[in-house]
Chain A
Amino acid sequence: GENVEQHPSTLSVQEGDSAVIKCTYSDSASNYFPWYKQELGKRPQLIIDIRSNVGEKKDQRIAVTLNKTAKHFSLHITETQPEDSAVYFCAARESSASKIIFGSGTRLSIRP
């Protein structure tokens, strides 16, 4: 089955700087890669996703990139703000069973 690894586990950046979170996956047939944000005490919510036929996708200050050859994908947050502080999860859709496998999460802290 699919295995998703996520790094780093914790990340602290100065407000206004950029943050990058990286993930790798094992199933070369996986075709959908969502990112979820979980604020403290809240439920995870989808913030952006990318499909395997696209290399990059942007939505305002966040972007995702996908390298299918290397089987890795990344989340980029530019001009970070205090409200970006949260736990971020990458995930991959397992091709064989249509279920989502999550990474272990990255706790992002924005320093004022």
Chain B
Amino acid sequence: DADVTQTPRNRITKTGKRIMLECSQTKGHDRMYWYRQDPGLGLRLIYYSFDVKDINKGEISDGYSVSRQAQAKFSLSLESAIPNQTALYFCATSDPGGSYNEQFFGPGTRLTVL
């Protein structure tokens, strides 16, 4: 089945380290997103990309950067990790067909910054 995958699934790192979270999809969708989930704060959009040459900031992009290497790959980087970036990170995709876009989420990456 077509799916969205994320690597790693769990990661523990130290303050100041650079870390990359990777997302791949076999759904053939053009649109990809990165969200972070914190208890009581829901899902907040970090960055999104509507095609390979398109990158847009979301609600909380400070401290993060992204790279859209191909239609199927969208990576999120933390250049210098800090403890308040400890969270559950989700990648998602959507199909731009029509005016509405269901989000298909990956399994999530649990990141802990010590």
Contacts and interface: CB of A to CB of B under 8 A. Distances in A.
Interface of A: 1, 6, 9, 31-32, 34, 36, 42-46, 49, 51, 89, 93, 97-105
Interface in B30-83: 33, 35, 40-45, 48, 50, 56, 58-59
Contact of B44 (A6, A36, A42, A102): A102
A43 B108 contact: yes
Contacts, number: 55
A31 B99 contact: yes
A46 to B, nearest CB: 5
A99 B58 contact: yes
A36 B90 CA distance: 14
Contacts of A103: 42
B103 interface: yes
Given A44-B90, A99-B48, A51 B40 contact: no
A98 B48 CA distance: 11
B90 A99 contact: no
Contacts of A43: 90, 105-108
Using C-beta atoms within 8 Å of the partner chain, give the interface range for chain B: 20 to 34
A103 B45 CA distance: 11
A32 B96 CA distance: 14
Interface of B: 33, 35, 40-45, 48, 50, 56, 58-59, 90, 96, 99-103, 105-108
B101 A104 contact: no
A44 B105 contact: yes
Given A43-B105, A43-B107, A44-B105, A105 B42 contact: yes
A98 B44 CA distance: 15
Nearest to B91: A43
Contacts of B35: 102
B103 A100 contact: yes
A93 B42 contact: no
Contacts of B42: 6, 89, 102-105
A24 B101 CA distance: 20
